[in-house]
Structure 1
């Protein structure tokens, strides 16, 4: 294990998180945490207590130190302060120990002295290949094995297959409480990551991807410290059939600030997390309840009964429930198709009803319920079925029991997700007891259940797509152009000419241009007019009135002279750019962020002022595959301007996708020096797309003129 940089050994983590021998160090009978650890005594692990001052703890004899136990130890928990915990790790490093839990604070989060202690801990753990949960966390709980090496409050937890790792200790308890309220949600491992000094989020996800006891993974994330390792582990989880849902904290930057027209102002860190996680097939959630709801169906349904949920059938007995299901599904971007195959049968058998999906069986439904369920279970257009009804404990009756039993019976050989939900909250015990394991799942109210089905379908589709996807080649790094930069308000800007040549070399078509330096005679451009004439090396030309449109060949000299005079007045670089004025049929915006918290990024939106007025952009982490590029464009499928509008032709979306892929290659190859790069506007002309302007901010030190 490379401590501090991850790659934890699976065998060592398995010993730590599924221990057979445990040492509890520093706990006494007067400790506030004695009752949090004591449930471990009811499990099947052998527990030793270490305390030099107390002969017994929780009725068990103690040992003065680890060495005196004389046994291999799978897991150790330190209940001591930072310095003593560090000494304990150093002692454990010389023994046969699987791993250690450190709950103490006082490490790197407190300053230089704490950082020195943490460095000693990392060095000792690294030398022994020993994972460490924490420090500065709540420890972990293995629910099925009744291992409670934690100071987390002892909330109720039912055993199951959902494992959760949280960088916020308190929210680990929040997830546990939400899981208890969902009758179909059982927990496997609950891990409080703490400072992640030795073992980090990527290590845990990598372990859980291979863990046979984990069926789905929930994460509470403040920061992903090793993005490449984390997303590689997420891919392994996908391959193993284990979905991931992430509750991302620190979202105050989620709103995109549009005050400046460069990519760095468009992309806050929280937004980048959304882009990267969703691109990796990870579901992003807003709170602990949603995290549980999104994963609960994976816990309950056998993978053989999962589907893409592109043909969800909804059956109920009231019009209100049917209508609400459509409204809520549409609000969350989920489709409930009409299932036209069933419409003739519905019209012939249920008086007054013409809509087959969602189906309101009205008062006639109970009499033909077995046939209703059979028809919908075998419908070729439906790949999932939801039964929605008042199903609280108070609703138990012979007729309601029969409805549930017929639904469960139809699920036996259907090979698709069958879900039962109460109209609000969890179904009663009489329902849960009648649901065949792996065949029918219980929801927790309509909207949470629809979200669970949406996540199930999205994961199935992502997994199938990921299995077909070829790795996108990562281009080699390139040096930034060897030219002096220009100081602008946002930082250091690459000059206009070198920027256009750089993007042309990357595969982005550019408009022709002609540069006129200070003192040069204006003898005409090497292409016909009319022209656009502008100060070349100015970041925001419109603010300075530094652009002239529709300039004729005869007026070219006057336009250049005006711009030179303007540059002299405002202290701007005097270089002038001349370009042919093209017919613009549409404008797009493409941005590159050379380095975000999670890596290089490509941003796309409608160009010109639209990106600021609409405050809407999409993004993908780079490099992009052709499939990534098309899916990014598809996020703007509702933008009529791209698909032909008011007599204008539709955009060449294949060419646009190729430009996005080229921008992704540039984002990766220039990540060491590109701060941001904007192609705004990238214009669509009768001859295709061309970049007529670009702004590149670089991180390299300024080179003086």
Structure 2
């Protein structure tokens, strides 16, 4: 073993036993072949099979208990019925880690669930760091361990990529596609049912591997132990690693019968997206996206110090330049205008007075005027506004002397000017394997078609900007926590909710509680017109459903009439309701937003931010974060909304006070954090945001305690 890290017996084992070893055992045979191909010392492999004296040309033992010396790792290639007793024997032997491939456990019905419980108990009793069951295993290039139930590519090479997948089939595909693209891996793990070890353990291990710079992950279900996973994710980001996450099941919605609107909107996928983003992970959309983004991050390396630079694009078609401009704008990638000095060289070389220069169409200049072509390349690489250069030049089926010279020149210019280079294609055009190998050897990253390449580049740039801004630094409290009142359970009264919000510095629209039409008129006179009347009751959480809300009341008689009509209708529609009174509120106008607290079964309280009003469920335009968050993070979330332009001012309206809304969201996040498991739901809808500098006020507040 190379280190003393907790998972070293698994991923760094220098001796192992294959239990169930046989030429006819698919898993065992493939594992032995993989170990051979990767150069693992055969003398350190111990086959276990009670019916054989020799397997794979190696001395075979009837039981692991009869093997002399220490065995750090047990590769358990037996069926589900035999797995429990084998784990028990491994524990007696003092084995530290194990892998189980067999299926037929919790995923296989009630009998399988019982069997998995027995296996879990046996593994815990044995102190076994167990990967699986129901998986294909793992690969560790440094330790030359190909503990993989399928046949690994013979040209699998070591590199800076780690993988953590909940699907073995998906990881198998990514490894094979990665190998074809010349990508190198360090440790790849597919955890299966994760009865002992889970993704938090694998991420914690990879976060400390100096060889790993990019960690590609795939989740079918949410990671177990979110808190530990978040700590491991923070550690990976702090160590300068990029973590890319593809999560399936995004259309699933949490089906909970809750009172507040925000519970209906806070689907599990959105909550986990917020969690991942807060901790610095990059979310991708599909497998192609994962592979392309992994390739760029692995090849380009992170450069947060260059986050404010743009990209230079070089191609051999004017039409390509137009398309690249569109895609770059759509994906938010800066393609800056070049300096006058650079522009002058390109105009002279190409004899085009109207040339923009970025993207640069070099046409057939390489053949017509090699010297001018080289000057264009050199000036582009020397451009101070540019940190990365994307090229779409000729990639013939074989490496010709001319093409070798061209790409060697690009590599030299990259090194001389400290510029990162990626190689694009116009569409999904496969290139010859020899090119993948050669480009990698030159330090040039192949990223594929224009759209995928620019999208991956956008993610890289965004992540670099976030790191440079300190977005992923721990959130610190700037004020002491308010004293926590006794709140009880269920829907809270308006008075209790108001006091709690005020304690956290969350502003409510000016209002007075009244208990007669006369009091309502006096309150309206004091607050000013127009005003709003609301029947307040814990039994009427949504007032519009019971005609318990009247807007735009312009005078005393309107207030008096509205009071009497509302009380009459509410008593008729819900006679059992316990009415606190009628709230008279100053009617304020501005941008309507939503702030709320919901609950995720695994993540606990979540902060929901979005556009508000009566159509909140129809629009469903929300961003979700895990409390607590900073005002900067809240603002970032609000600016990610599809309808965020309303905050900038539309149709002549002034810009809204987004700073105050973000600060309010941050304060609400601390409220959620402090109440923790005691809070069920909270709904501030709408929060009316006034013009810049004038504040934001919660107009309606609903708080439900558990």
> Using a 3 Å threshold, how does the CA distance of structure 1 residues 483 and 127 change in structure 2: closer, same or farther?
closer
Q: Does the 8 Å contact 1:594/1:670 carry over to 2?
A: no
Equivalent residue, structure 2, for 1:688: 695
- Taking a change above 3 Å as real, the CA distance of residues 689 and 212 of structure 1, as seen in their structure-2 partners, is closer
Of Structure 1 and Structure 2, the greater helix share is in 2
Following superposition of structure 1 onto structure 2, how do residues 522-561 of structure 1 map, counting pairs within 5 Å?
A: 524-525=522-523, 527-530=526-529, 531-537=531-537, 538-551=540-553, 552-561=555-564
**Matching residue within 116, 126, 133 for 2:131:** 133
Q: Indicate whether 1:590 and 2:595 are aligned.
A: yes
Q: Work out the CA distance in 2 between the residues paired with 1:685 and 1:329.
A: 34
**1:27-46 paired onto structure 2 within 5 Å:** 27-39=21-33, 40-42=35-37, 43-45=39-41, 46=44
Note if contact 1:89-1:125 (Cα within 8 Å) is conserved in structure 2.
yes
Unaligned runs of 5+ in 2: none
**CA gap 1:373/1:12 in 2 versus in 1, 3 angstroms:** same
- Counterpart-to-counterpart distance in 2, 1:386 and 1:298: 14
Deviation at 1:307, TM superposition (A): 4.3
Q: Whole-Å Cα distance in 2 between the matches of residues 101 and 477 of structure 1?
A: 49
CA contact (8 A) 1:393 1:427 kept: yes
Q: 1:277/1:339 Cα in 2 relative to 1: closer, same or farther (>3 Å)?
A: farther
Compute the TM-score of the two structures, normalised by the length of structure 2: 0.88
Listed one character per residue, the Cα deviations across residues 540-584 of structure 1 (whole Å, up to 9, x for unaligned) are 322332222343334444322211111121115344422233331
Distance 1:265 1:326, change over 3 A: same
Q: 1:260 Cα deviation (Å)?
A: 9.2
Where does residue 627 of structure 2 map in the other structure?
A: 622
8 Å Cα contact 2:592/2:612 also seen in 1? yes
2:598 paired with 1:602: no
Do the aligned residues in 2 keep the contact of 1:76 with 1:100 (CA within 8 Å)?
A: yes
Measure, in 2, the Cα distance between the counterparts of 1:484 and 1:308. 48
Match of residue 171 from structure 1? 170
- TM-superposed CA distance for 1:511, in Å, is 1.9
Q: Output the TM-score relative to the length of structure 1.
A: 0.88
Q: 1:182 to 1:609 in 2, by over 3 A?
A: farther
The equivalent of 1:472 in structure 2 is: 476
* Aligned counterpart for 2:574 among listed residues 559, 571, 579: 571
137-146 vs 423-432, which moves further = 423-432
Alignment of 1:162-561 (within 5 A): 162-183=161-182, 185-221=183-219, 222-253=221-252, 262-301=261-300, 307-308=306-307, 310-341=309-340, 342-352=342-352, 353-364=354-365, 366=367, 367=369, 368-393=372-397, 396-423=399-426, 424-428=428-432, 431-432=435-436, 435=439, 437=441, 439-466=443-470, 469-473=473-477, 482=487, 485=490, 493-517=491-515, 524-525=522-523, 527-530=526-529, 531-537=531-537, 538-551=540-553, 552-561=555-564
Q: Is the 8 A contact 1:593 1:667 kept in 2?
A: no
Q: For residue 661 of structure 1, report the CA deviation from its aligned partner.
A: 0.7
Question: Contact (CA 8 Å) 2:87, 2:126: kept in 1 or not?
Answer: no
Contact 1:350–1:364 (CA<8 Å) still a contact in 2? yes
Distance 2:244 2:238 in 1: 15
Corresponding residue SS for 1:339? coil
The CA deviation at 1:219 is 1.0
Mapped to 1, the partners of 2:681 and 2:519 lie a distance apart of 34
CA-to-aligned-CA distance 1:171-205 (integer Å, 9 cap, x gap): 1222123213323x122222120111111100100
CA-to-partner distance for each residue in 1:19-70, whole Å, 9 max, x for gaps? 2101000122222334312222443241001111222222222101112111
Number of corresponding residues: 682
Equivalent residue of 1:90, what SS?
A: helix
Please state whether the residue corresponding to 1:247 is helix, strand or coil.
strand
505-514 vs 459-468, which moves further: 459-468
Deviation at 1:433, TM superposition (A): 5.9
- Residue 239 of structure 1: how far off its partner (Å): 1.7
Distance 1:436 1:223, change over 3 A: closer
How far the C-alpha of 1:478 sits from its partner, in A, is: 8.1
CA contact (8 A) 1:234 1:280 kept: yes
Task: Structure 1 unaligned segments of length 5 or more: list them.
Answer: 1-8, 486-492, 701-705
User: What's the CA shift for 1:10?
Assistant: 5.8
Question: Bigger CA drift: 186-195 or 153-162?
Answer: 153-162
The separation in 2 between residues aligned to 1:520 and 1:53, in whole angstroms, is 95
Aligned residue for 1:630, secondary structure, equals helix
Report SS of the residue matched to 2:448.
Answer: coil
Structure 1 contact 218–291 (Cα < 8 Å) conserved: yes
Q: Deviations over 1:514-534 (max 9, x none)?
A: 334589976732833433112
Larger mean CA deviation between 269-278 and 475-484 belongs to 475-484
d(CA) in 2 for partners of 1:431, 1:105: 40
Q: Tell me, yes or no, if the aligned pair for 1:343 and 1:356 is still in contact at 8 Å.
A: yes
Rounded Cα–Cα distance in structure 1 between residues aligned with 2:14 and 2:410:
43
Q: CA deviation at 1:86?
A: 1.8
Distance 1:140 1:469, change over 3 A: closer
The aligned residue for residue 666 of structure 1 is 671
Q: CA deviation at 1:401?
A: 3.4
Question: Are the structure 2 counterparts of residues 338 and 38 from structure 1 closer, same or farther at C-alpha, using a change threshold of 3 Å?
Answer: same
Q: Deviations over 1:81-114 (max 9, x none)?
A: 2342222222222334231001123434445654
1:637-652 mapped onto 2 (5 Å cutoff):
639-652=644-657
Query: 1: CA distance between counterparts of 2:477 and 2:17?
Result: 48
Structure 1 residues 457 and 234 mapped into 2: Cα distance closer, same or farther (>3 Å)? Answer: same
CA distance in 2, matches of 1:357, 1:514: 61
Deviation digits for residues 398-417 of structure 1, max 9, x if unmatched? 44333323212211222231
Decide which of 63, 66, 69 is 1:65's aligned counterpart: 63
- Residue equivalent to 1:703: none
RMSD: 3.3
Deviation track 1:464-520 (CA, whole Å, cap 9, x = no partner) reads 3348834334987986754574xxxxxxx3333322332222221012333345899
Asked whether 1:26 is paired with 2:24, we answer: no
